[in-house]
Chains A and B, each alone.
Chain A
Amino acid sequence: MNRKGITKRIGAIKFAYMSPKEIRRLSATKIITPDTYDDDGFPIEMGLMDTHLGVIEPGLRCKTCGGRVDQCSGHFGNIELSMPVIHVGYIKEIKKLLRSTCSECGHILMSDEERDHFIQEMVDLDKLGGDSLDMRKLAKEISKSARKNKVCPHCKTEQRKIMLDKPTTFREDNTKLTPKEVRARLERIPDRDLIPLGLNPKVVRPEWMVLSVLLVPPVTVRPSITLESGDRSEDDLTHKLVDILRINQRLRENRDVGSPQLIVEDLWDLLQYHVNTYFDNQTSGIPPARHRSGRTLKTLIQRLKGKEGRFRQNLSGKRVNFSSRSVISPDPWLSINQVGVPIRAARELTVPLRVTPENIDYVKEMVEKGPEPMEQGKYVAGANYIIRPDGRRIRVTEMNAETVAEKIEVGFIVERELKDGDIVLFNRQPSLHRMSMMAHEVKIVPGKTFRLNLAVCPPYNADFDGDEMNLHVLQSEEACAEAKVIMRVQENILSPRFGGPIIGATQDHISGLFFLTYRNPMFTRREVVSIFSNMKSENFPPSENIDGEKMWYGKEIFSHFLPENLNLEFRASICENCDECLKKDCEHDAFVLIEDGNLKTGTIDENGIGAFKGEVVDKIARDMGTDKARKFIDQITTISLGVITLRGFTTAISDEDVPPEAKQQIREVLEKAADKVKAYAEAYRDGELEQMPGRDLKETLEVMALKETGKSRDNIGAIASRHLGLGNNSVVMAKTGARASMLNLTQMAGALGQQAMRGERPSRGYEERTLTHFEKGALGAEARGFVKSSYKDGLNPIEFFFHSMAGREGLVDTAVRTSRSGYMQRRLIHAMEDLMVYNDGSVRNTGDTMIQFEFGEDGMDPMRTKSGKAVDIDDIITELKAAKRGGGA
């Protein structure tokens, strides 16, 4: 499988160490003085800021290439170290080499025949297509087998044990090896012996791993910044290099005058420390070098490594232009495809417009209006910049608008401000799935926040408690077209995550449709006009004549927005799960039957139009196309708001009021549960508890207690439910799935019930008891977190404590879960980023290696499945019924 467009392929990449010779050749100047600038603020010759290394101040010219600030990218310099120093980055390699070669003659610790045998093995591995990782592994094995020989087979010298004192000190049987000695040993290793140790002698000599010359990066890599006060502040790297230079100079002086060995060695170690921290300031075993303020210095490794390092921060991801970020707020009158962009943002964000003979007049007219045109108090798109074919950008201002407009010719590019209908990408972090970034159409709005329709909150997982979102303006027609086809909100109504609609109504939208359809209420003309008042344009559904007055049925109003050939059967969220389903004769009006686009029976609630569950949305999107589905969602949510606005909707704690008899019943249930647990605890203590299979006695007690308290909670729920009917707004929300659940209501009206941590009753805190309010060894319900009060009544201090424990566990769990799943997802993405499904249904990576022979083994697109199932039998049956009736799709 050949891919188009690739004209060149990287054949190989070779890595090698830099030789001192190469460093000196690369160097533009030698650095000898630790000073940077003289009193006049000019760089000192042969200092760290020498202009041979490039320039960072405007006006100066580079002495090496003659370039100015923006022309010269800088040149390397070098420091001649007075004594050699080990490079920390190669410490493991040096250790390996020292251990597997002779300390005297430098030969690898094996016979020549053995060595040649290993070399042959390496050649074979290379022929078989072994990559560098395989090679490294083999080299490691060879070195391991060499190390086994305690006596050199060549010169018969007995080998002593070489230890590494972190980070860079070698000891041989407790005598220290100086870097000089280390280098001498590495120098002795013959070229041919390097091959089995994994080094290529054609490009590398091991003694280069001990530094005698240090490469100094150009000043452009470590620019100094001038503060407002005129003081200069140097880069961390420069600071470190200054340290190295100072010690280097002192070491040289002391060595030259013949100071005592001890002093020279101390300075040598200090130089080693500074060079170590210059490369890596986080090596274990040495204290990190610090700034005067106590801040640790950011040296070479720290610049590259980790989340804030060069790779992840600047190379894998970048800051972009043509984007903006703001707080979001809801706007139910927008289409789900739209996004409200405030004028302030729209004036700043631009789309490039290429001037052609066809549009030149239009463009000129637009530019003439300047950068901030308004017409009759309304926003009009202007132009911010024009770009000439030679690449020069001219800013359009109020002043020069007319003159600039006149200069425009075919071939110019004009950067036009955003206007209604532009395609933009809208995104909310964390971007966990592809629906986290969708394409919207721009609608310019007043204010300062981005607006979005409430039905698109679920895919973004957005709410309006201060959430911010990002917006990116597409810069080419191709990009716009592509985004419109595959990224537009309406194309993402169905989610590949679970094979159902992820976009749909939530909260009040669901309550509203419940009131519209539950038990088919009637509406007067006044009411219908009110309900329809927010529709852009719509005919009224047919009316009934009752008592000489025109009346409309709720279900007919709903049906009015359904496609004509829609047939559907499902159970609503308010379904009570009766033992025998009466289907369309359901006494709860919970069996939804739609025939030829008419809602015959049933209530529309979460299972009808809700996000994640909406059967109606699902069916329309699947069978009739995303266009119809979008239109349906837009219209039905608007109608829903009309209904709920007309009716009014409120909730209060009094919604959870239950009559005193019920309260009494609940109390009895709770007492009974507590008594039972007490009885179990006593039986346990007396050794009379019957052990459950697979559990010990204590576990049996806990299981029984949890079962008992659980049962009591269910009973309380049942008692409360008897007194809380669908005439109650809180119950409406819970039953329809708009918000909250019956359990929440039970906890407000009845009691909280058993508090649990890790699925068990609380058991720790004090010696053999949870709190000092109980006797030691107390195992009763109250002593182990059974809360008999309700939220409404309020908890006593002991109950409150147990409730806090369980509540804290919940918080900690979510915090831990998000960070852990985040990292897991990062690893998954990296593992699968180069996989692709080919036209034949197979999954292969960029190396064309087969990963899956058929995507998901069945080749199904999960987005087009029904909850993961390829065939929806129920739907087929419904459609067949419809066909028999003489209708249907």
Chain B
Amino acid sequence: MGKINVMKHAFVPEHRPVSKEDEEEILEGMNVPKDKLPKILKSDPVLQQLEGVHGKIEEGRIIKIVRNSSTAGEANAYRLVVDR
């Protein structure tokens, strides 16, 4: 069996790394320090898939997740990349 691209699965929402330039603006807009964001593991299958596209994603980067929401149509969430 070949490797599965989890991001193509219907249950996995869109993940996208936030560029370093945009980080500050996003955090400012939400009035939240970086370390108070929800976390995503560096070893997460989605992140490994993303690294294939965007190159290496270090600890401390922010991932934007766009979900389909039953209440709001589309909802944005952000996660901080952590190791371990």
Are A and B associated in one complex?
A: yes
Residue of A nearest to B33 (CB): A848
Question: In the complex, what residues of B have CB within 8 A of residue A856's CB?
Answer: 71-72
Residue contact A850 to B37, C-beta cutoff 8 Å:
yes
CB distance from B69 to the nearest CB of A (A): 4
Residue contact A840 to B31, C-beta cutoff 8 Å:
yes
CB distance from B14 to the nearest CB of A (A): 15
Partner of A854, one of B31, B33, B38, B75: B75
Q: What's the Cα separation between A857 and B76 when bound, in Å?
A: 8
Flag whether A842 is at the interface (Cβ < 8 A).
yes
Partner of B72, one of A842, A848, A850, A857: A857
Flag whether B30 is at the interface (Cβ < 8 A).
yes
Residue contact A853 to B78, C-beta cutoff 8 Å:
yes
Q: What's the Cα separation between A219 and B52 when bound, in Å?
A: 70
Flag whether A815 is at the interface (Cβ < 8 A).
no
Q: What's the Cα separation between A353 and B30 when bound, in Å?
A: 46
Flag whether A654 is at the interface (Cβ < 8 A).
no
Residue contact A858 to B76, C-beta cutoff 8 Å:
no
Which positions 47-71 of chain B face chain A at CB distance < 8 Å? 67, 69, 71
Q: What's the Cα separation between A857 and B73 when bound, in Å?
A: 9
Which positions 32-52 of chain B face chain A at CB distance < 8 Å? 32-33, 36-38
Question: In the complex, what residues of A have CB within 8 A of residue B76's CB?
Answer: 853
CB distance from A869 to the nearest CB of B (A): 9
Question: In the complex, what residues of B have CB within 8 A of residue A859's CB?
Answer: 72
**Apart from A850-B37, A857-B67, 17 more pairs, CB < 8 Å:** A840-B30, A840-B31, A842-B30, A842-B32, A847-B36, A848-B33, A848-B36, A849-B36, A849-B38, A850-B30, A850-B32, A850-B36, A853-B78, A857-B71, A858-B71, A859-B72, A868-B71
Question: In the complex, what residues of B have CB within 8 A of residue A850's CB?
Answer: 30, 32, 36-38
Question: In the complex, what residues of A have CB within 8 A of residue B72's CB?
Answer: 854, 856-859
Flag whether B77 is at the interface (Cβ < 8 A).
yes
Flag whether A844 is at the interface (Cβ < 8 A).
yes
Which positions 69-107 of chain A face chain B at CB distance < 8 Å? none
Residue contact B36 to A844, C-beta cutoff 8 Å:
yes
Q: What's the Cα separation between A154 and B19 when bound, in Å?
A: 54
Question: In the complex, what residues of B have CB within 8 A of residue A858's CB?
Answer: 69, 71-72, 75
Interface residues of B (CB under 8 A from A): 30-33, 36-38, 67, 69, 71-72, 75-78
8 chain-A/chain-B pairs, Cβ below 8 angstroms: A848-B32, A849-B36, A849-B38, A850-B32, A850-B38, A853-B30, A853-B78, A868-B71
Flag whether A320 is at the interface (Cβ < 8 A).
no
A621-644 interface mask toward B, CB cutoff 8 Å, 1 = contact, 0 = none?
000000000000000000000000
Q: What's the Cα separation between A847 and B33 when bound, in Å?
A: 12
Q: What's the Cα separation between A132 and B76 when bound, in Å?
A: 33
CB distance from A160 to the nearest CB of B (A): 36
Residues of chain A at interface, number, CB under 8 A: 17
Flag whether A653 is at the interface (Cβ < 8 A).
no
CB distance from B65 to the nearest CB of A (A): 10
Q: What's the Cα separation between A144 and B33 when bound, in Å?
A: 38
Question: In the complex, what residues of B have CB within 8 A of residue A854's CB?
Answer: 72, 75
Question: In the complex, what residues of B have CB within 8 A of residue A840's CB?
Answer: 30-31
3 tightest Cβ-Cβ pairs between the two chains A and B? A858-B72, A857-B75, A858-B71
Residue of B nearest to A858 (CB): B72
Question: In the complex, what residues of B have CB within 8 A of residue A860's CB?
Answer: 71
Flag whether A262 is at the interface (Cβ < 8 A).
no
CB distance from A575 to the nearest CB of B (A): 28
Residue of A nearest to B70 (CB): A857
Question: In the complex, what residues of B have CB within 8 A of residue A842's CB?
Answer: 30, 32
Q: What's the Cα separation between A844 and B31 when bound, in Å?
A: 12
Question: In the complex, what residues of B have CB within 8 A of residue A851's CB?
Answer: 38
Q: What's the Cα separation between A857 and B38 when bound, in Å?
A: 15
Question: In the complex, what residues of B have CB within 8 A of residue A847's CB?
Answer: 36
Given contacts A848-B36, A858-B71, A858-B72, contact A853 B31 (CB under 8 A): no
Question: In the complex, what residues of A have CB within 8 A of residue B67's CB?
Answer: 857
Q: What's the Cα separation between A842 and B33 when bound, in Å?
A: 14
Residue of A nearest to B39 (CB): A849
Question: In the complex, what residues of A have CB within 8 A of residue B69's CB?
Answer: 857-858
Flag whether A1 is at the interface (Cβ < 8 A).
yes
CB distance from B83 to the nearest CB of A (A): 10
Q: What's the Cα separation between A853 and B30 when bound, in Å?
A: 8
Residue of A nearest to B38 (CB): A850
Q: What's the Cα separation between A856 and B70 when bound, in Å?
A: 10
Q: What's the Cα separation between A767 and B48 when bound, in Å?
A: 59
Question: In the complex, what residues of A have CB within 8 A of residue B30's CB?
Answer: 840, 842, 850, 853
Q: What's the Cα separation between A850 and B77 when bound, in Å?
A: 10
Q: What's the Cα separation between A848 and B77 when bound, in Å?
A: 16
CB distance from B25 to the nearest CB of A (A): 15
Residue contact B31 to A1, C-beta cutoff 8 Å:
yes
Question: In the complex, what residues of B have CB within 8 A of residue A868's CB?
Answer: 71
Q: What's the Cα separation between A840 and B31 when bound, in Å?
A: 9
CB distance from B78 to the nearest CB of A (A): 7
Q: What's the Cα separation between A858 and B72 when bound, in Å?
A: 5
Q: What's the Cα separation between A750 and B66 when bound, in Å?
A: 56
> Taking each of B36, B38, B67, which has the highest tally of chain A beta carbons within 10 Å of its own beta carbon?
B36
Q: What's the Cα separation between A868 and B77 when bound, in Å?
A: 22
Residue contact A853 to B71, C-beta cutoff 8 Å:
no
Question: In the complex, what residues of A have CB within 8 A of residue B33's CB?
Answer: 848
Residue of B nearest to A1 (CB): B31
Q: What's the Cα separation between A827 and B72 when bound, in Å?
A: 28
Question: In the complex, what residues of A have CB within 8 A of residue B77's CB?
Answer: 853
Which positions 808-860 of chain A face chain B at CB distance < 8 Å? 840, 842, 844, 847-851, 853-854, 856-860
CB distance from B67 to the nearest CB of A (A): 8
CB distance from A863 to the nearest CB of B (A): 14
Question: In the complex, what residues of A have CB within 8 A of residue B78's CB?
Answer: 853
CB distance from B34 to the nearest CB of A (A): 10
Q: What's the Cα separation between A840 and B30 when bound, in Å?
A: 8
Q: What's the Cα separation between A842 and B31 when bound, in Å?
A: 10
Question: In the complex, what residues of A have CB within 8 A of residue B37's CB?
Answer: 850
Residue of B nearest to A859 (CB): B72
CB distance from A9 to the nearest CB of B (A): 17
Question: In the complex, what residues of A have CB within 8 A of residue B36's CB?
Answer: 844, 847-850
Question: In the complex, what residues of A have CB within 8 A of residue B32's CB?
Answer: 842, 848, 850
Q: What's the Cα separation between A851 and B36 when bound, in Å?
A: 9
Question: In the complex, what residues of B have CB within 8 A of residue A849's CB?
Answer: 36, 38
Residue of A nearest to B32 (CB): A850
> Taking each of A1, A851, A853, which has the highest tally of chain B beta carbons within 10 Å of its own beta carbon?
A853
Which positions 847-884 of chain A face chain B at CB distance < 8 Å? 847-851, 853-854, 856-860, 868
CB distance from B82 to the nearest CB of A (A): 10
A582-596 interface mask toward B, CB cutoff 8 Å, 1 = contact, 0 = none?
000000000000000
CB distance from B60 to the nearest CB of A (A): 13
Residue of A nearest to B69 (CB): A857
Question: In the complex, what residues of A have CB within 8 A of residue B71's CB?
Answer: 856-858, 860, 868
Q: What's the Cα separation between A844 and B38 when bound, in Å?
A: 11
Residue of B nearest to A853 (CB): B77
Q: What's the Cα separation between A395 and B56 when bound, in Å?
A: 78
Q: What's the Cα separation between A860 and B70 when bound, in Å?
A: 12
Question: In the complex, what residues of B have CB within 8 A of residue A848's CB?
Answer: 32-33, 36
Q: What's the Cα separation between A840 and B32 when bound, in Å?
A: 11
> Taking each of B33, B37, B75, which has the highest tally of chain A beta carbons within 10 Å of its own beta carbon?
B75
Residue of B nearest to A848 (CB): B36
CB distance from A871 to the nearest CB of B (A): 12
Residue of B nearest to A852 (CB): B77
CB distance from B37 to the nearest CB of A (A): 6
Q: What's the Cα separation between A292 and B76 when bound, in Å?
A: 66
Q: What's the Cα separation between A765 and B67 when bound, in Å?
A: 52
Q: What's the Cα separation between A860 and B69 when bound, in Å?
A: 13
Question: In the complex, what residues of A have CB within 8 A of residue B38's CB?
Answer: 849-851
Residue of B nearest to A868 (CB): B71
